[in-house]
Amino acid sequence: MTHTQLTLTHARTSDSGALLTVAGEIDMSNSGTLADAIDGVPGPVVVDLTEVEYLDSAGLNVLFARADRIELITGPLLERVLTVSGLTRLVTVRSV
């Protein structure tokens, strides 16, 4: 199986929280990498998805499974997917 391009960058926020910036495509081939990146950070994590071009059900499952400890930043492209999936009812989603 070929892996699609996914870039993950960790940073600390000004309030000592964690920020995970995600770019590229999230699908079955790399959703485990996203899960490991979120799980590798203790406490709450802000996940910036504004540079994500594609998100499939495997990626959504990763986010749903961690809904109790993530907050999402997204652009208009993914906002509709997150809303239709119901994730916006479980997670704070900020649009840019």
Q: In what order do the strands lie in the sheet with 70-74?
A: 6-12, 18-26, 45-55, 70-74, 93-95
pLDDT of residue 77: 86
- Cα–Cα dist 37/69, whole Å: 13
Task: Tell me the pLDDT tens digit for each residue of 5-26.
Answer: 999 999 987 676 899 999 999 9
Please give the DSSP secondary-structure letter assigned to residue 55: E
Domain boundaries, the chain: 6-95
Q: Kindly report whether the global pTM for this prediction surpasses the value 0.85.
A: yes
CB atoms within 10 A of CB 34: 23
Place of tokens 């499974």: 65
Mean of pLDDT over the chain: 93
- Architecture of the domain delimited by 6-95: 2-Layer Sandwich (3.30)
